[in-house]
């Protein structure tokens, strides 16, 4: 059990944090004072006994940081890198926690076990500073022991914690620099880790971070690495990327990220009775983080963004729709065979065009959100909603993804990447589809307007509210069943407010828009074609005879009918007949028994099918089925009228259908995103879970509505 060489404890900390006091309390009189080799920096070494084992204790020079610029820092850092102590004990001055944690984060990154002493707790208490050390310890992912070094209080516990971590070689959790920067760190870390010898000597993550900061000492240390060229290239890329994106040098940005991380950790765990000097950030935060007006400000900001997005975004949306209209016209004049025209128009232009016409909205929405994100406001919004989200087993970080769900689930699901806890991330992904996305709005508008004309806007609003309530209940349920698990305390970064750079914002917008547009071009295109195939084939038998008969009966019934209008009605009837006899019609009839208890007929079953590819398509399919001229215009009066007159429809059915569509699995693009982000298992879960839930809730609503005589 006893190693041949005594195990080493290295004491680190800011100057005057009480290292020497703790060193003395540990080692008593068994110590000697010398110099670090080659330099005039004092080196204090001693011995402490713990359960019969003699441990070597070294008091490192006091430093604020671990750059390669000051002698003390180089000595402290070299000692850790070259001597590899078995544990680092960081002595923190509790009266100055944020500044002291800055060094701790850097010690953590060196890749050795670390425990921390919250020293000067007596002075902190006098100054009205209260630190919840248990939560802080969980948050930062390493043991923390309160001490009073000058009186030796807590030093025994500190030693115990140090030996415990040393025995198990437990490493603290690494602070994150945010996904954007982590990508670069990971890239360089992987390159560094490809050499076994290098791995044995260094923590590649630490070297990677130092390389991004252009630390000369780290650059020196990689010269012997076999892939030094590639590493240097990756380092340059990272440095320039950060410069472009944030407009500042990497070293400054990484340091700001650390302070943001610390600020987040401290804000959750430290309370002080008196405020210190106020920075601009703190002054702004007094308003936007105010317990009473913070949330109203936030909702106002979000409301403003949605308002702005739709006000500005409607112009390009209309232009795009015009463009697709022209495309449609061009296809009609092209002289291509009718079946190809039908594929191009009904399959591709309607399906893909419908999704692409949302792109301007997405661009503007993401432009606004990127600005908020880059200034640091989104981090605050997460903080504000943290308390409420805790109650349902999530964290403030889930807030933004859920918000984005009102626009489109695809970017919302992708936005969960910022969540650190895997279970909370899955729970958030599972909740997002219940939030009513933009695609569901046309359905609500059509059905509420048709069957609840007096209260249409209230009904639409209630549908939105119902979606939010359902996502809350579902999350609460999932976090207590399949996704049960302790909420992991973690740091929400509260970086200082920054001016966003134009290039940085454009970059974000481009990334997000492109991934949305790409989905429209791939999966939605494929599904639209598939939907076209199953609604068009097989060609109904006797369709020509049916058309002729329809034409004859129409003209004989109303001899005064305008022939052009008659032709429109005939072709609507023919489309309806064709759809009934297509594959989709057969599927609709096949699933009718399952939907019958809710009150849905086979036509509704058919309309729900394309709803899987994009919710907007439910409206146009209903249009085909109920004989309205095909148009993307959801307010088309003739569709409303024929729905109202149809014997198999009623307000009850409309309500149940809205609910069903709200709960049913999201569109294919979202499902593809869920699969990419959460895997096949959760994709299957989402589909089954939301199908079952949709059926049950729609059934209950339908029964209730009947009981109330709707
Ligand atoms: P070092 O520079 O990090 O080695 O810190 P020292 O051990 O020299 O301590 C600096 C000063 O703080 C000394 O006057 C200590 O007596 C005092 N000190 C150390 N620990 C504590 C503590 O927990 N509480 C209080 N009130 N004073 C402390
Ligand atoms: Mg000292």
**pLDDT score recorded for residue 157:** 96
Quote the CA–CA distance of 283 and 275 in Å, as a whole number.
Answer: 11
Residues above pLDDT 90, as percent of the chain: 31
Q: Stretch 475-500: mean pLDDT, rounded? A: 73
For 333-490, where are the alpha helices, taking DSSP H only?
338-342, 350-356, 359-375, 377-391, 399-404, 409-415, 422-431, 441-451, 456-480
Q: Stretch 671-681: mean pLDDT, rounded? A: 88
Which residue has the CA at smallest separation from atom 1 of ligand 1? 16
Closest atom of ligand 1 to CA, residue 148: 23
- Does 381 score more than 70 pLDDT? yes
How far is the centre of ligand 2, averaged over its atoms, from the C-alpha of 60 (Å)? 8
Three-state secondary structure readout of 398-421: HHHHHHHCCCCHHHHHHHHHHCCC
Ligand 1 lined by 17 (C-beta under 6 Å): yes
Q: Which helix (H) or strand (E) holds 119?
A: strand 114-119
Q: pTM above the 0.85 mark?
A: no
Higher pLDDT, 370 or 2: 370
Q: Give the confidence band of 3 by pLDDT, cuts at 50, 70, 90.
A: very low
**pLDDT score recorded for residue 178:** 87
Most ligand 1 atoms within 8 A of CB, residue of 94, 149, 157 to mutate: 149
How far is the centre of ligand 1, averaged over its atoms, from the C-alpha of 149 (Å)? 6
pLDDT, one tens digit per residue, over 318-363 is 788 788 888 888 988 988 888 888 888 877 877 677 667 667 877 8
- Does 598 score more than 90 pLDDT? yes
**pLDDT score recorded for residue 694:** 96
| Radius of gyration (C-alpha) of the chain in whole angstroms | 32
Between helix 502-519 and helix 359-375 the angle, nearest 10°, is 140
Q: Cβ(88)–Cβ(113) under 8 Å?
A: yes
How far is the centre of ligand 2, averaged over its atoms, from the C-alpha of 42 (Å)? 9
Q: Cβ(697)–Cβ(437) under 8 Å?
A: no
**pLDDT score recorded for residue 216:** 86
How far is the centre of ligand 1, averaged over its atoms, from the C-alpha of 151 (Å)? 9
Which superfamily, per CATH, for 7-168?
P-loop containing nucleotide triphosphate hydrolases (3.40.50.300)
Ligand 1 lined by 42 (C-beta under 6 Å): no
Of residues 141, 384, 407, 375, the one with CA closest to residue 398: 384
Ligand 1 lined by 15 (C-beta under 6 Å): yes
Q: Give the confidence band of 234 by pLDDT, cuts at 50, 70, 90.
A: very high
For the chain, the average pLDDT equals 84
**pLDDT score recorded for residue 116:** 97
Which residue has the CA at smallest separation from atom 25 of ligand 1? 120
Q: Stretch 415-428: mean pLDDT, rounded? A: 79
Q: Stretch 84-92: mean pLDDT, rounded? A: 96
How far is the centre of ligand 1, averaged over its atoms, from the C-alpha of 18 (Å)? 4
Class of domain 179-272: mainly alpha
Higher pLDDT, 644 or 53: 53
Closest atom of ligand 1 to CA, residue 123: 26
To the nearest 5 percent, what fractions of the chain are helix, strand and coil?
A: 70, 5, 25
Q: Cβ(343)–Cβ(529) under 8 Å?
A: yes
Q: Stretch 167-195: mean pLDDT, rounded? A: 91
Which residue has the CA at smallest separation from atom 13 of ligand 1? 18
* Nearest ligand to the C-alpha atom of residue 125: 1
Q: Stretch 484-507: mean pLDDT, rounded? A: 69
Write down the domain spans for the chain. 7-168, 179-272, 294-449+458-479, 526-707
């Amino acid at each position: 059990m006893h190693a041949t060489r005594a195990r080493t404890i290295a004491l680190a900390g800011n100057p005057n944090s009480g290292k020497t006091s703790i060193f003395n309390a540990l080692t008593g009189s068994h110590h000697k004072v010398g110099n670090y080799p080659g330099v005039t920096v004092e080196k204090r070494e001693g011995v402490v006994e713990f359960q019969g084992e003699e441990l070597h204790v070294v008091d490192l020079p006091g430093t604020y940081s671990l750059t390669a610029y000051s002698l003390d820092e180089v000595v402290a850092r070299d000692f850790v890198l070259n001597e590899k102590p078995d544990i680092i004990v960081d002595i923190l001055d509790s009266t100055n926690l944020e500044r002291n944690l800055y060094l701790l984060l850097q010690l953590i990154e060196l890749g050795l076990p670390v425990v921390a002493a919250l020293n000067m707790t007596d002075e902190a208490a006098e100054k009205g500073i209260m630190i919840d050390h248990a939560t802080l310890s969980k948050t930062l992912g390493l043991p923390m022991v309160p001490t009073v070094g000058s009186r030796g209080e807590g030093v025994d516990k500190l030693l115990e914690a140090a030996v415990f971590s040393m025995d198990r070689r437990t490493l603290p959790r690494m602070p994150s620099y945010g996904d954007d920067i982590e990508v670069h760190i990971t890239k360089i870390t992987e390159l560094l880790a490809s050499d076994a010898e290098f791995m044995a000597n260094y923590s590649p993550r630490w070297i990677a971070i130092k390389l991004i900061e252009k630390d000369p000492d780290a650059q020196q240390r990689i010269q012997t690495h076999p892939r030094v060229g590639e590493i240097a290239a990756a380092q340059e890329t990272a440095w320039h990327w950060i410069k472009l994106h944030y407009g500042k040098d990497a070293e400054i940005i990484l340091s700001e990220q650390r302070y943001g991380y610390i600020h987040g950790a401290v804000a959750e765990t430290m309370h002080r009775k008196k405020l210190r000097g106020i920075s601009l950030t703190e002054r702004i935060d007094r308003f936007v983080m105010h317990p009473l007006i913070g949330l109203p400000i936030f909702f106002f900001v979000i409301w403003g963004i949605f308002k702005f997005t739709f006000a500005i975004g409607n112009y390009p949306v209309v232009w795009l729709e015009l463009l697709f209209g022209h495309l449609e016209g061009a296809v009609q004049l092209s002289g291509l065979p009718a079946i190809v025209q039908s594929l191009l128009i009904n399959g591709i232009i309607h399906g893909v065009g419908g999704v692409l016409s949302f792109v301007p909205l997405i661009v503007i929405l993401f432009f606004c959100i990127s600005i908020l994100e880059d200034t640091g406001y989104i981090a605050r919004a997460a903080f504000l909603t943290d308390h409420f989200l805790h109650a349902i087993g999530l964290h403030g970080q889930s807030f933004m993804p859920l918000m984005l769900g009102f626009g489109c689930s695809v970017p919302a699901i992708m936005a969960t990447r910022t969540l650190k806890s895997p279970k909370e991330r899955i729970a958030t992904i599972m909740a997002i589809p219940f939030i009513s996305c933009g695609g569901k709005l046309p359905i609500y508008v059509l059905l509420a307007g048709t069957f609840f004309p007096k209260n249409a806007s209230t009904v639409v609003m209630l549908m939105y509210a119902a979606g939010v309530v359902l996502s809350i209940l579902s999350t609460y349920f999932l976090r207590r069943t399949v996704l049960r698990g302790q909420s992991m305390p973690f740091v929400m970064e509260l970086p200082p407010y920054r001016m966003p750079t134009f290039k940085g914002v454009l970059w974000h917008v481009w990334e997000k828009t492109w991934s949305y547009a790409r989905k429209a071009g791939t999966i939605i295109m494929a599904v639209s074609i598939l939907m076209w195939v199953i609604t068009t084939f097989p060609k109904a038998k006797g369709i020509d005879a049916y058309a002729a008969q329809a034409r004859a009966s129409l003209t004989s019934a109303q001899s005064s009918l305008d022939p052009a209008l008659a032709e429109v009605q005939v072709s609507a009837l023919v489309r309806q007949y064709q759809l009934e006899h297509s594959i989709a019609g057969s599927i609709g009839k096949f699933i009718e028994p399952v939907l019958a208890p809710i009150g849905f007929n086979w036509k509704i079953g058919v309309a729900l099918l394309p709803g899987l590819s994009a919710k907007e398509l439910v409206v146009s399919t209903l249009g085909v089925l109920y004989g309205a001229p095909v148009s993307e215009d959801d307010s088309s009066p003739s569709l409303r009228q024929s729905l109202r007159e149809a014997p198999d429809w009623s307000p009850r059915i409309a309500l149940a259908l809205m609910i069903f569509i709200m709960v049913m699995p999201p569109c294919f693009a979202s499902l593809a995103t869920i699969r990419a982000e959460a895997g096949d298992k959760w994709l299957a879960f989402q589909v089954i879970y939301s199908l079952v839930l949709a059926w049950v809730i729609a059934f209950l609503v339908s029964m209730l509505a009947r009981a109330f005589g709707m």
